């Protein structure tokens, strides 16, 4: 607040949490909330969505569906150590011998995310795959098929909901803060994905600002210093909308 003491007066801040839905579904709830707020409470003149790790993907999927807001509404997405594709992260780790993030991620979803889901009984049946007791991880491809079965997705839908999208409303401003030596994310894949997706857009090419952070970490630097939190507050404070890709 020392950086931006006026923040509470100039912005309304919401932290959204829904323990009865998963991140693959929750975007629709947040979009509905934003639409309700804009229509019934106060016209939204500026919308900033900050996403940490995979939350950055969720942020992009939310913002791309805010066409109901005024064309004059300023839109900004700020991501922090966000992979461009969750499936890429899982597939890459599935080839490791020791540290298997794909297994950890699977059981986090199976035992934590889906535990409080409104459709828990049906989901548990799918995860157990006809077996009793603890669900068994049967590999990367099997896990993807289970995700599709649980949510009723086809391949295209699953990839769309688990990848960052640059197809955004006109003049959306995007800030990526990332660590080059992130132990979770494939930085080279991120760069290639970003360049390819932006290059292939025929219209509404986003304005992207990149800030590369030092160190070997994934979101953990927020525990030891507030330098990059200050950057985020500084972006909000200046209210400038950058137009560079790099």
**In tens digits, what is the pLDDT along the chain, a chain of 246 residues?**
566 778 788 888 888 877 667 778 888 889 999 999 999 999 999 999 999 999 999 999 999 999 999 999 999 999 999 999 999 999 999 988 888 888 888 888 877 778 778 888 888 888 888 787 788 888 999 989 988 998 889 999 999 999 999 999 988 999 999 998 999 999 999 999 999 999 999 888 888 999 998 888 999 888 777 788 888 888 887 755 443 333
Domain boundary among 137, 158, 179: 158
| Domain shared by 135 and 232, yes or no | no
Domain end among 158, 187, 207: 158
Do 26 and 142 lie in a common domain? no
Number of domains in the chain: 2
105 and 221 fall within a common domain? no
Same structural domain for residues 213 and 225? yes
pTM of the model: 0.88
Whether residue 243 lies inside any domain: the answer is no
Quick one: tokens of 239? 């209210």
Q: Do the domain assignments include residue 197?
A: yes
**Same domain, yes or no: 42 and 93:** no
**Domain with 117 in it:** 87-158
**1 belongs to a structural domain:** no
């Amino acid at each position: 607040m020392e950086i931006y003491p006026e923040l509470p007066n100039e912005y309304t801040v919401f932290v959204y949490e829904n323990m009865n839905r998963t991140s693959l579904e929750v975007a629709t709830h947040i979009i509905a909330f934003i639409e309700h707020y804009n229509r019934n409470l106060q016209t939204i003149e500026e919308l900033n969505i900050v996403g940490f790790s995979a939350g950055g993907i969720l942020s992009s999927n939310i913002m791309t569906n805010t066409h109901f807001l005024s064309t004059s509404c300023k839109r900004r997405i700020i991501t922090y150590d966000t992979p461009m594709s969750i499936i890429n992260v899982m597939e890459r780790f599935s080839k490791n011998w020791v540290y298997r993030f794909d297994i950890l991620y699977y059981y986090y979803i199976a035992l934590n995310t889906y535990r409080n889901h409104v459709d828990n009984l049906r989901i548990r049946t799918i995860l157990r795959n006809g077996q009793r007791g603890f669900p068994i991880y049967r590999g990367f491809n099997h896990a993807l098929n289970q995700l599709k079965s649980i949510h009723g997705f086809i391949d295209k839908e699953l990839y769309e909901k688990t990848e960052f999208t640059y197809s955004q409303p006109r003049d959306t401003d995007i800030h990526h803060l990332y660590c080059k030596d992130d132990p979770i994310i494939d930085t080279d894949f991120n760069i290639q994905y970003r360049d390819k997706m932006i290059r292939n857009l025929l219209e509404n090419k986003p304005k992207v600002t990149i800030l590369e952070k030092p160190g070997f970490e994934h979101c953990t630097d927020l525990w030891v210093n507030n330098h990059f939190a200050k950057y985020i507050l500084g972006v909000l404070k200046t209210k400038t909308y950058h137009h560079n890709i790099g």
